[in-house]
Amino acid sequence: MAKFTKKRGKSKPAISTASLPDIIFMLLFFFMMVTVLRDSDLKLQVNTPEATELTKLEEKSLVNYIYVGKPTKQYQQVYGTSPRIQLGDKISTVEDIPLFLEQHKVKLPEAKRSRITSSLRVDGEVTMGIVQDVKTKLRKSNQLKVNYSAGKRSEELN
């Protein structure tokens, strides 16, 4: 009588693909939940100045962005070519700043409200008159944490 033996090690078991759709949908759901969409479209030309000593803001949810610059070509017929202020998604005036700050403040928990920072993204070609008006209105609104946004300057060796 002949002896039958199993051939071991020559065939590999197939990988089960039954759980792959579940994994893909979990990843899709995860990335949909953690992705933050930009909440405002920039209607102004803002080319921030460059600097070498920069500090990164920690919690971006605690930052109010105030843009100052000339309207883009798309909006120049409506708003002209003089420098304007953009708060959120709207081109506004200096008088609208307190309401903008308050609307952002009420969305946050009470414990985080004292850490709100206003970040000024100012075009390098804008005169300081409009920037000073914004800073004065921020001070009158008791928003004393102000930062200027800048791009990173590459250090050149001379």
How many domains does one find in the chain? 1
Q: Does position 74 have pLDDT exceeding 80, yes or no?
A: yes
- R_g over Cα of the chain: 27
What is the spatial distance between Cα 51 and Cα 154, in angstroms, rounded to a whole number? Answer: 9
Structural domain includes residue 23: no
Structural domain includes residue 74: yes
Structural domain includes residue 139: yes
Per-residue pLDDT at 1:
59
Q: Does position 157 have pLDDT exceeding 50, yes or no?
A: no
Q: Which residue has the higher pLDDT, 17 or 69?
A: 69
Angle at 99 between CA 85 and CA 47, to 5 degrees: 20
Whether the Cβ atoms of residue 79 and residue 109 lie closer than 8 Å to each other: no
Tell me which DSSP letter residue 155 carries.
P
> What are the tens digits of pLDDT across the range 89-137?
899 999 999 999 999 999 999 999 999 999 999 999 999 999 999 999 9
Q: What is the mean pLDDT of residues 33-47?
A: 81
Supply φ then ψ for residue 121, to 5 degrees: -105, 100
Q: Does position 31 have pLDDT exceeding 80, yes or no?
A: yes
Residue 3, SS3 per DSSP: coil
**Mean pLDDT rounded to a whole number for the chain:** 88
Structural domain includes residue 78: yes
What's 90's domain CATH number? Answer: 3.30.420.270
Residue 127 CA from chain centroid, whole number: 25
Q: What is the mean pLDDT of residues 67-81?
A: 94
Range of the domain at 80: 64-151
Q: What is the mean pLDDT of residues 133-146?
A: 95
Structural domain includes residue 138: yes
